[in-house]
Amino acid sequence: MPHPTLLSSTLRRLTVAVSLVTSTLFAALAAAILFPQSAIWTWALLFFLPIFWLHCYFPGYVSYSPTAFGRVREVVTSPRAVRECVVCGEADDRGVARAFSTQFVVAGIPLSTTDRGENEYCTRCHAVEFSPT
């Protein structure tokens, strides 16, 4: 199961874009106030990333490590009754469900989910498919 998102994909991208713009302006303002005699853009660049990340972190947009960039794949395995095993086709009351997702992430913030799904395995097939050997 992918990390929960608070907003739809389009609204989420728009919100992150607005956060990007306001963080840039706030970083430039902070640099101008704290270091009025120096090169403002050097300091603004240093202030930008932490401000942007915190701006997205507090509303709950950050789901991964702040160093996560690119495509991130996540698989969550949970025990539950299985209607039909994807390998053998049998039902099992003590089966395993594996939910997977691939998300495009920038600085720990998932911008879009590119792939998601779920597979159900009976106990026997799960032991064979995912054995540590």
Over the Cα atoms of the chain, what is R_g?
22
Q: What are phi and psi of 69, to 5 degrees?
A: -135, 150
Tokens of 34: 């704290």
Q: What is the pLDDT of residues 5-20, one digit of tens each?
A: 545 566 666 666 777 7
Look up the pTM and report it. 0.52
Highest mean pLDDT among 8-12, 75-79, 104-108: 75-79
For 124, how many CA atoms within 13 A lie in the half-sphere containing its CB? 8
